[in-house]
Structure 1
Amino acid sequence: MLPLTDTTAVVSALRAAGCVFAEDEADLILATARTPGELAVMVDRRAAGQPLEHVLGWAGFHGLRVLVEPGVFVPRRRTEFLVDQALAQAPDASVVVDLCCGSGAVGAALAAALGATELHAADIEPAAVDCARRNIAPYGGHAHLGDLFDALPTALRGRIGILAANVPYVPSGEVGLLPAEARDHEPLVALDGGGDGLDVLRRVAAGAPGWLAPGGCVLVETSELQAAAAVEAFADAGLTARLAVSEEMYANVVIGVRDVIGVRDAS
Structure 2
Amino acid sequence: MPPLSPSSPPSPSVRDSVVAALRAAGCVFAEDEAELILATARTPEELAALVDRRVAGLPLELVVGWAEFRGLRIAVEPGVFVPRRRTEFLVEQALAQVPDASVVVDLCCGSGAVGAALVSALGPVELHAADLDPAAVRCARRNVDGEVHQGDLFTALPDDLRGRVDILAANVPYVPTGEVGLLPAEARDHEPLTALDGGTDGLDVLRRVAAEAPRWLRRGGCVLVETSERQAAAALEAFAASGLTSRLAVSEEQYANVVVGVRE
Number of aligned residue pairs: 256
Hey, what's the Cα distance between the residues in 1 that align with 2:42 and 2:252?
39
Give distance in 2, aligned partners of 1:175 and 1:216.
33
2:52 pairs with 1:47: no
Of 8, 15, 18 in structure 1, the residue corresponding to residue 26 of structure 2 is: 18
2:143 is equivalent to residue 135 of structure 1: yes
Query: Contact 2:97/2:222 (CA < 8 Å) preserved in 1?
Result: yes
- After superposition, the C-alpha distances for 1:48-81 in whole angstroms (9 at most, x for unaligned) are 0011000110000001000011110000000000
Instruction: Note the C-alpha offset of 1:38.
Output: 1.1
Task: Give TM-score scaled by structure 2 length.
Answer: 0.95
Aligned partner (choices 64, 67, 70) of residue 59 of structure 1: 67
Runs of 4+ in 1 over 3 A off after TM superposition: 1-4
Task: Verify: 1:191 aligned to 2:196, yes or no.
Answer: yes
What is the rounded CA distance, in whole Å, between the counterparts of 2:183 and 2:81 in structure 1? Answer: 14
Which of 245, 249, 252 aligns to 1:244? It is 249
Aligned-partner Cα distance in 2 for 1:203–1:41: 42
Distance in 1 (CA, whole Å) between partners of 2:42 and 2:157 is 39
Q: What RMSD over aligned residues (CA atoms) do the two structures have, in Å?
A: 1.1
Note the C-alpha offset of 1:34: 1.2
1:151 aligns with 2:156: yes
Structure 2 distance, partners of 1:231, 1:3, is 55
Where structure 1 has 5 or more consecutive residues not aligned to the other structure, the ranges are: 260-267
In 2, Cα distance between equivalents of 1:209 and 1:236: 11
Partner letter of residue 152 of structure 1?
L
Residues 70 and 2 of structure 1: CA distance in aligned 2, closer, same or farther (over 3 Å): farther
Contact (CA 8 Å) 1:17, 1:47: kept in 2 or not? yes
> How far apart, in 2, do the equivalents of 1:114 and 1:131 lie?
22
* Cα distance between partner residues in 2 of 1:134 and 1:156: 23
Contact preservation (8 Å) 1:68, 1:74: yes
SS at match of 1:226: helix
Q: Write the letter of the residue equivalent to 2:241.
A: D
Deviation at 1:228, TM superposition (A): 0.6
SS of equivalent residue, structure 2 residue 240: helix
1:35 positional shift: 1.3
SS at match of 1:91: coil
Equivalent of 1:81 in 79, 89, 93: 89
Matched to 1:206, the amino acid is: A
Identity value in percent: 79
- Unpaired runs of 5+ in structure 2? 5-9
| Structure 2 residue identity aligned to 1:230 | A
Cα distance in structure 1, aligned partners of 2:178 and 2:2: 41
1:13-45 CA-to-partner distances (Å, cap 9, x unmatched) read 111111111010000100111111111111001
Q: Is the 8 A contact 1:243 1:253 kept in 2?
A: yes
Q: Partners in 2 of 1:17 and 1:10 — Cα distance?
A: 11
State TM-score, norm by structure 1. 0.94
Q: Is the 8 A contact 1:93 1:114 kept in 2?
A: yes
TM-superposition CA deviations, 1:147-200 (whole Å, max 9, x none): 000000111111100000000000000000000010000000000000000000
Give the superposition deviation at 1:118.
0.3
SS in 1 for 2:229: coil
Answer whether contact 2:106 2:169 (CA < 8 A) is retained: yes
Q: Which residue of 2 aligns with 1:31?
A: 39
Mapped pair 1:205 → 2:213: no
